[in-house]
Structure 1
């Protein structure tokens, strides 16, 4: 955020271009994300095709999935995050794109990870992307979603020194949005997480896992 424009909020691309590797430093390996990735690795077939939405620096998610032998593609709206991820995880593929304008063939992914990509997205866009994910998954494919649940819409928040506007759903409302796509919700759980950053407030992390019938 520009020091001469203190009230203007940063969009997702601008925010993560500015934060870069600082995001990895502050958030490291959130336990809920770690657990979701381990669970995926345990159930995926060999050489599974995994799509990582909002792939960030590539660590830990794409790195761990690729190390387990999966074929990983990460998508991120930040060119800087994609640059870092390509350097850190050369065994995965990373695409600079906004998932809302990105297309994939139906039934082309064994799993989709969505770890915090929706928090700066209007609710209608989140619902559209979730429906896309359901189409993209193969029968029996898995969704692992982690977010900060809250019934808020376009609320200004300080995030690592940048003003952003956050939109989310309550836990129950997001579970219903996932079910509305036709996916079977297999588990939910939540816990508090404290970022490794002075002054950062603990936040709730919600994990939703789902499976495409078939």
Structure 2
């Protein structure tokens, strides 16, 4: 495999190819349906790891919501601004980005934590819980697995990934102060030659009022 890349380097290098391979994931589409069904009009929504801006930011903005996407990759932010001009996109690391408590009606994080150590994922979940308004919604999608700092090849690049088993991750969401309202798991086959099928997990949660 090639030299290992940071998250920013990885997605700067992949760019639009990410959407080509992973742009139509049923579990993300399910997450969007759930959010769009419960959000109030003109909701403030934060998209963590917003990538190319599609589908999440694009669908939320098209529904009239006020969307801000943050992504560590300058290239992803550039693409997202071009594809979803009605949303705001900021190059930022979620571990360092600041937001006032209770600012957001919803936060979505789709595959945003797989390159974070477990302790940092737990810290970020706590930050997200603080950013949500009472009654605010959280939608998290990831690849569940009992792995930590495991090297893999991802679209031709070498990276290290970490995750939690499904039950353990749901417990981390609860520990952050959120109520888990539903989960869903599906097997996904990337639209890329040689890519292996992978399990995707959706966790839906709500901040208590």
Q: Work out whether the TM-score is over 0.5.
A: yes
Cross-structure match for 1:73 = 68
Of 112, 127, 152, 2:107 maps to: 112
The answer to whether the aligner puts 1:64 opposite 2:59 as a matched pair is: yes
Q: Which runs of 5+ in 1 are unaligned?
A: 1-5
Question: How far, CA to CA, are the matches of 1:7 and 1:70 in structure 2?
Answer: 40
The answer to whether the aligner puts 1:121 opposite 2:116 as a matched pair is: yes
The Cα RMSD (Å) is 0.7
Cross-structure match for 2:126 = 131
Shift of 1:189: 1.3
Cross-structure match for 1:184 = 179
Aligned counterparts, 1:157-196, within 5 A: 157-196=152-191
Question: How far, CA to CA, are the matches of 2:194 and 2:15 in structure 1?
Answer: 19
Cross-structure match for 1:25 = 20
Shift of 1:7: 5.0
Q: Which runs of 5+ in 2 are unaligned?
A: none
Helix, strand or coil at the partner of 2:64: coil
Shift of 1:9: 1.0
Helix, strand or coil at the partner of 2:183: strand
Question: How far, CA to CA, are the matches of 2:148 and 2:187 in structure 1?
Answer: 21
**Distance of aligned partners of 1:7 and 1:162 in 2 relative to their CA distance in 1, 3 Å threshold:** closer
Question: How far, CA to CA, are the matches of 1:38 and 1:72 in structure 2?
Answer: 16
The answer to whether the aligner puts 1:16 opposite 2:7 as a matched pair is: no
Please identify runs of 4+ aligned residues in structure 1 that moved more than 2 A.
Answer: none
Helix, strand or coil at the partner of 1:204: strand
Aligned length, in residue pairs:
209
Cross-structure match for 1:143 = 138
Helix, strand or coil at the partner of 1:139: strand
